[in-house]
Amino acid sequence: MKEPDIEVYVSVMDEIKRRTAVVYSFLSGGSSAVYRVTQVESIYLQIRMILELVALASLAANRPIFEENRKKFSKHWNPADILKDIELLNPGYYPKPIKETPSERKGVVNDLLPIESGYLTKAELIEIHGRTGNILHARNPFGKGLDVAEYERHVPEIMEKIRLLLNCHEIRLLGEHDFFYLIHMKEDLDDRVHSYKFQQTIPPSSAATPAAGQRQAET
């Protein structure tokens, strides 16, 4: 099988960064959708797109498989069903959030340790995706009104979970059985997404970072 193009995955991560910036621009007051309801709807539209991009990113790097399943994905986005399909195609599709810590091992810059909690889980992705659907559809004028303030209140928590998931993470692309990639959403030197390929010679999430001076930075 042809080696997947990690640059496609990186480009999807870059798209997520751009959409994240839109959310924070609304939250900070840098952007406005004029009407509070439309502003919160605009935020949740970006969150919905981010969640879908997270799910589809690893398949996007393998065009034949992605094209083969694209119609199914576009016709009925039921997150639970679609994520099951993606997992069947690529069990390692979901990002594994990583914390880099200085290593005491000789010749090793940093150890890659798994983050155990606080990040966006698969179950939360499905639940939040469903929540976005509630706000992005027109509502029955005779029904219960939308609690806009409640939706707005949850945005910082949702964005922090996404940040912790993606900021520094491992990913396995379709067709890559003996390798994984370390993704930095941002580094000290620039604002670009960076990827580093590792051969799987030791247990996952315990490898060294690729080179000195490349430190984890916030998205």
pLDDT in tens, 114-160: 999 999 999 999 999 988 988 887 776 666 777 889 999 999 999 99
- List pLDDT tens digits, range 95-119: 999 999 988 888 777 888 999 999 9
Strand partners, 20: none
What's the pLDDT score for residue 191? 87
pLDDT tens, position by position, 53-65: 998 888 878 777 7
User: What single letter denotes the amino acid at residue 164?
Assistant: L
Q: How confident is the model at residue 214 (pLDDT cuts 50, 70, 90)?
A: very low
The structure's pTM equals 0.85
Query: Between residues 217 and 48, which one has the greater pLDDT?
Result: 48
> What local confidence, expressed as pLDDT, does residue 142 receive?
66
What percent of the chain lies above the pLDDT cut of 90?
Answer: 47
Residue type, 212: A
More confident residue, 139 or 15: 15
Residue with tokens 């981010």: 50
Please list, in sequence order, all residues whose beta carbon lies within 8 angstroms of the beta carbon of residue 5, skipping any fewer than 6 positions away: 61
- Give 201-212 pLDDT, tens digit per residue: 655 444 554 543
Strand partners, 195: 183
For residues 106 and 64, give the distance between their C-alpha atoms in angstroms, rounded to a whole number: 42
What's the 3-state SS for the chain?
CCCCCHHHHHHHHHHHHHHHHHHHHHHHCCCCCCCHHHHHHHHHHHHHHHHHHHHHHHHHCCHHHHHHHHHHHHHCCCHHHHHHHHHHHCCCCCCEEEEEEECCCCCCCEEEEECCCCCCCHHHHHHHHHHHHHHCCCCCCCCCCCCHHHHHHHHHHHHHHHHHHHCEEEECCCCCCCEEEEEECCCCCCCCCEEEEEECCCCCCCCECCCCCCCCCCC
Give strand pairing partners of 171: 181
